[in-house]
Chains A and B, each alone.
Chain A
Amino acid sequence: MIMIMSHTENKSKIISSRIALNGVFLCVALILSYIESLIPLNFIVPLPGFKLGFANISIMFVFVYLGVFDAAEISFLRVLIISILFGSVTSFAFSLSGAVLSFVSLLILRKLRFKNISWIGVSVICAVSHNIGQIIAASVVFASITVISYLPWLLIMGTVCGIITGVIMHLVSSNKNLKKIYFNLSI
């Protein structure tokens, strides 16, 4: 159902459309997380906690085009569901602290009005802050600062993956058909 209505109109309809949309984007994030878990990168890049971060595509999209609160909700639910399905308590702690830190960096970038930065820079900064959050969580879990020796490698790989997701975000956000869809869906 395509809705064109003002903010003053039926609030409950707005809310239900919002819940539905958030569900769709949560599914996209989950599927992307699942796809990246299928790619056996552990044997090429032996770094604990290293991931491609495709789920970030969905969350950044929601953050910019739909809303901040929706993005926070989707991000938290994604971390929760993925660690219930595929992970453990440790992986939940790692992902959550990474997700929180990258969300904070997104908020800061939004405060700066995304000036002088494109999708590539945004996703690189997100990826890197996710890695820093993971390292913080790991040093708490292991009760040792040793984990930090992985940080530089994670930073380099995070930059590479951030560029990849940034290019994908460029393609997604400049797609005219997609734009039509979300401008009709978002109120």
Chain B
Amino acid sequence: MLGEIYMKIDVKKSRKCNFAPADSFKPGDLISIVLIIFTAVALIFFFRSGIGETGKTYAEISVWGKDSVNIYIYPLERDKILEIESSGYHFTIQILDSKVSVIHSECPDGICRNTPAISSVRESIICVPAKMIIKIVSEYKDDYDYVAY
């Protein structure tokens, strides 16, 4: 099958690029690196700045249940230790001094455990294998079907 596909492609045209990247450092490299780093730093400042924070902040934890997404909302001012489950993995989440962190998790990669504690709006902790998202919101919206408060 692959041979047939190869037959159809013009060998001359597809083979070999006539131009290769240069062998020494060029201004284009510097420009692209500086632009990317600048964008990243600007985005970090934006996410950390807490623009749009109005009064009380909440931790919004969305977990995947058997057939639905559940969203739990907790105020950050009250210290708490939570036990939750998402896609079959158990998590222990700690709210301490208005900061949220995952202190114990069963997920295989352990990225959520190693993420530093989050406290300002738009910051988040994500666990990819368990599909769990913890994010900080400032205004509690009514349209969520929340489970616990």
Contact = CB atoms under 8 A, between A and B. Distances in A.
Interface string B15-58: 11101111111111100110011011101100100000000000
Contacts of A156: 37, 40
A151 B126 CA distance: 12
Contacts of B20: 64-65, 114, 173
A136 interface: no
A120 B111 contact: no
A170 to B, nearest CB: 7
A176 to B, nearest CB: 12
Contacts of A63: 17
A67 B6 contact: no
B133 A142 contact: yes
B114 A90 contact: no
A82 interface: no
A116 interface: yes
Interface residues of B, number: 52
B110 interface: yes
A128 B36 contact: yes
A181 interface: no
Given A113-B19, A118-B21, A152-B43, A144 B62 contact: yes
Nearest to B23: A174
A141 B19 CA distance: 38
A19 B2 contact: yes
Given A11-B11, A120-B29, A147-B126, A19 B6 contact: yes
A121 B43 contact: no
22 contacts: A12-B3, A43-B110, A47-B111, A48-B126, A64-B20, A64-B21, A65-B20, A66-B15, A66-B16, A114-B22, A117-B21, A117-B22, A118-B25, A120-B25, A125-B32, A138-B128, A146-B135, A147-B133, A149-B122, A155-B36, A158-B36, A187-B11
Interface of A: 7, 11-12, 14-15, 18-19, 42-43, 46-49, 63-70, 88, 90, 110, 113-122, 124-125, 128, 138, 141-144, 146-147, 149-153, 155-156, 158-159, 163, 166, 170, 173-174, 186-187
